[in-house]
């Protein structure tokens, strides 16, 4: 380990953040980090549970004087979103995250940092390891596969948890206390590919969309950032309507909870039309630069010749269905809350488009703080699937977390914040799927709050974490724990 963070305060937190950054922990690749957490607990003779889904619960007794205090569940997730730049050599299945420090910020070299939600894991480990922090009985809960639909939390048997106060550390803005979140669901529409051979002398070209910022498909959806899949659909539809192009491959995005930044298509063009198609691509490059001038100023559309022998391409019927879905599947904000100013109420993200030997799949993540509106958006996608005579697959549905009118932990967080900083924190809801919704169902009458330090550009290779904010947030957390008696 390079110990890049060894002299940064709070040392007890960044020590563990750096340790877990050495362990690959992308969603569905969490056995190593889960086993690390179990061994951590065993080394300290702490009570520990690990289930088949690799979720981990670690319990620590109250410090002296807090034996009769209510038990507190402190919770985060162990998996991270694995995104990297095209020119970055990194294997998320075996390579550690290469950390770097620039002033007040910690980031990674060309990849996501994993502060979402590694900083929660680091906080929890620092609490469990400490012998100088006053606290009530603690139940640390670290879940798996949060980033791909809260799967670990869904599978968790909550009978091992006794706490009635729940502190989630999966927020990304200091001074903002989250008290509600949206529910979500994932949908996949698949177009079976009919392949056909073309005897014409066509040349192969790659169309690429690059330079978009991307971002979290819930928290950044209101920033009107370009979606590479939707943009590619517009380009291909225009070319199809004007020229004799064929297509054999289209792929865009890599994670459903990230706004897609890049998309690629392989097309085949008649030699007599190549110059006109190139000119048309140039027009689209200008169009997108104008449309996205504020949100994604570096967007580009490029076309380049590639050496790829054409054996078969999508049939005209398949191509038309693919183009139709690009337009029929919605993207972006669908409704705004009338109760909380500025809060996105409902949205959907066409996050991943993939071509295999048999089909083209369109994968969307839909969110809403109102269950019926979430269902309505899914019905729109379903109708789009029906229009092209195919089916929709629904998965990973999870509930919203509703605001609780009377909350002891919320009022305590407010009181401690005012004492530390001389001002009130912001009470807010989030347009993203926190595990709080599931745990409110599993645990019944649970008093919940979510908070965290300042993080930026999560789910992208530009993700970075504020050191000073992490320090303040850590001090805030241990001050709150000290007050729970």
Domain boundary among 375, 397, 419: 397
- Predicted confidence band at 246 (pLDDT cuts at 50, 70, 90)? very high
Q: Is the pTM of this model over 0.85?
A: no
Mean pLDDT to the nearest integer, 274-289: 97
d(CA 232, CA 323): 10
Residue with tokens 């904010």: 469
User: Do 357 and 216 fall into the same domain?
Assistant: yes
Q: With a cut of 90, say whether residue 339 has pLDDT above it.
A: no
User: Do 226 and 152 fall into the same domain?
Assistant: no
Mean pLDDT to the nearest integer, 204-208: 96
Q: Kindly list the distances between the CA atom of residue 283 and the CA atoms of 278, 293, 443, in Å, as whole numbers in the listed order.
A: 9, 15, 56
Clarify whether 79 is annotated catalytic.
yes
The DSSP string of 49-100 is: EE-TT--EEEEEPPPTT-TTSPPEEEEEE--B---B-TT----TTTPPP-EE
| Active-site residue, selected from the candidate residues 18, 30, 79, 139 | 79
User: Do 69 and 192 fall into the same domain?
Assistant: no
- Cα 299 from chain centre: 22
User: Do 160 and 216 fall into the same domain?
Assistant: no
| Active-site residue, selected from the candidate residues 18, 30, 146, 463 | 146
The pLDDT of residue 201 = 78
User: Do 239 and 170 fall into the same domain?
Assistant: no
The pLDDT of residue 255 = 87
Q: Which of 42-46, 66-70, 221-225, 427-431 has the lowest mean pLDDT?
A: 427-431
> pLDDT tens-digit profile of 282-313?
999 999 999 999 999 999 999 999 988 777 99
User: Do 135 and 209 fall into the same domain?
Assistant: no
Judge whether 113 and 97 are in contact, CB under 8 Å: yes
User: Do 389 and 404 fall into the same domain?
Assistant: no
- Cα 22 from chain centre: 21
Report the domain count for the chain: 2
Q: Is residue 2 part of a domain?
A: no
Judge whether 6 and 99 are in contact, CB under 8 Å: no
Question: What CATH number corresponds to the domain at position 319?
Answer: 3.30.70.360
Q: With a cut of 70, say whether residue 2 has pLDDT above it.
A: no
Q: Is residue 168 part of a domain?
A: yes
Give residue 307's domain range.
Answer: 185-397
User: Do 196 and 78 fall into the same domain?
Assistant: no
User: Do 33 and 99 fall into the same domain?
Assistant: yes
Q: Which of 122-131, 196-205, 217-226 has the lowest mean pLDDT?
A: 196-205
> pLDDT tens-digit profile of 164-189?
999 999 999 999 999 988 999 999 99
Q: Is residue 432 part of a domain?
A: yes
User: Do 289 and 435 fall into the same domain?
Assistant: no
Q: Is residue 253 part of a domain?
A: yes
Q: Which residues contact 255 (CB under 8 A, 6 or more apart)?
A: 81, 82, 83, 147, 351, 352, 459
What's the burial of 439, exposed, middle or buried (CB within 10 Å: 0-12/13-18/19+)?
buried
The pLDDT of residue 406 = 92
Q: With a cut of 90, say whether residue 3 has pLDDT above it.
A: no
Q: With a cut of 60, say whether residue 1 has pLDDT above it.
A: no
User: Do 308 and 373 fall into the same domain?
Assistant: yes
Higher pLDDT, 199 or 380: 380
User: Do 344 and 416 fall into the same domain?
Assistant: no
Domain boundary among 381, 397, 413: 397
Q: With a cut of 70, say whether residue 115 has pLDDT above it.
A: yes
Q: Is 253 helix (H, G, I), strand (E, B) or coil?
A: coil
Clarify whether 51 is annotated catalytic.
no
Mean pLDDT to the nearest integer, 458-469: 96
- Predicted confidence band at 370 (pLDDT cuts at 50, 70, 90)? confident
Question: What CATH number corresponds to the domain at position 430?
Answer: 3.40.630.10
């Amino acid at each position: 380990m390079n110990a890049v963070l060894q002299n940064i305060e709070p040392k007890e937190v960044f020590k563990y953040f750096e340790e877990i950054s050495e362990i690959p922990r992308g969603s569905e690749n969490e056995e190593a980090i889960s086993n690390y957490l179990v061994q951590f607990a065993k080394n300290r003779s702490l009570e520990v549970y690990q289930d088949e889904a690799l979720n981990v619960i670690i319990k620590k007794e109250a410090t002296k004087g807090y034996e009769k205090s209510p038990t507190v569940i402190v919770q985060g997730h162990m998996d991270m979103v694995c995104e990297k730049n095209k020119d970055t050599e990194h294997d998320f299945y075996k390579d550690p995250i290469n950390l770097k420090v620039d002033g007040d910020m910690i980031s990674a070299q060309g990849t996501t940092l994993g502060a979402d939600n590694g900083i929660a894991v680091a906080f929890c480990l620092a609490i469990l390891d400490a012998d100088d922090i006053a606290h009530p009985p603690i139940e640390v809960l670290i879940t798996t596969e949060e980033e791909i639909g809260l799967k670990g939390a869904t599978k968790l048997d909550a009978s091992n948890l006794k706490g009635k106060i729940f502190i989630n550390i999966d927020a990304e803005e200091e001074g903002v206390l989250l008290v509600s979140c949206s529910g979500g669901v994932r949908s996949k529409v698949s177009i079976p590919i009919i392949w056909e051979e073309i005897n014409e002398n066509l040349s192969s070209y790659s169309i690429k969309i690059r330079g978009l910022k991307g971002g979290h498909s819930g928290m950044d959806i209101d920033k009107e950032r370009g979606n590479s899949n939707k943009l590619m659909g517009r380009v291909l539809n225009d070319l199809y309507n004007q020229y004799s192009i064929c297509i054999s491959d289209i792929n865009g995005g890599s994670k459903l909870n990230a706004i897609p930044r890049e998309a690629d298509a392989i097309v085949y063009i008649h030699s007599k039309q190549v110059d006109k198609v190139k000119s048309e691509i140039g027009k689209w490059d200008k169009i997108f630069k104008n449309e996205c001038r504020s949100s994604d100023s570096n967007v580009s559309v490029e076309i380049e010749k590639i050496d790829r022998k054409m054996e078969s391409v999508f049939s005209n019927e398949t191509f038309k269905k693919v183009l139709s879905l690009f337009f029929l599947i919605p993207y972006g904000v669908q409704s705004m809350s009338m109760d909380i100013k500025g809060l996105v109420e409902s949205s959907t993200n066409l996050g991943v488009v993939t071509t295999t030997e048999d089909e083209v799949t369109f994968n969307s993540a839909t969110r809403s703080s109102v269950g019926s509106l979430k269902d309505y958006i899914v019905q729109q996608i379903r109708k789009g699937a029906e229009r092209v005579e195919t089916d929709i697959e629904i998965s990973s549905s999870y509930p919203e977390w509703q605001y609780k009118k009377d909350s002891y932990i919320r009022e305590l967080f407010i009181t401690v914040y005012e004492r530390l900083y001389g001002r009130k924190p912001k009470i807010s809801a989030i347009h993203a799927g926190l595990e709080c919704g599931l745990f409110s169902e599993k645990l019944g009458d649970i008093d919940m709050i979510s908070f965290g330090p300042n993080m930026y550009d999560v789910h992208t290779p530009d993700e970075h974490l504020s050191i000073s904010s992490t320090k303040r947030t850590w001090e805030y957390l241990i001050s709150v724990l000290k007050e729970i008696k």
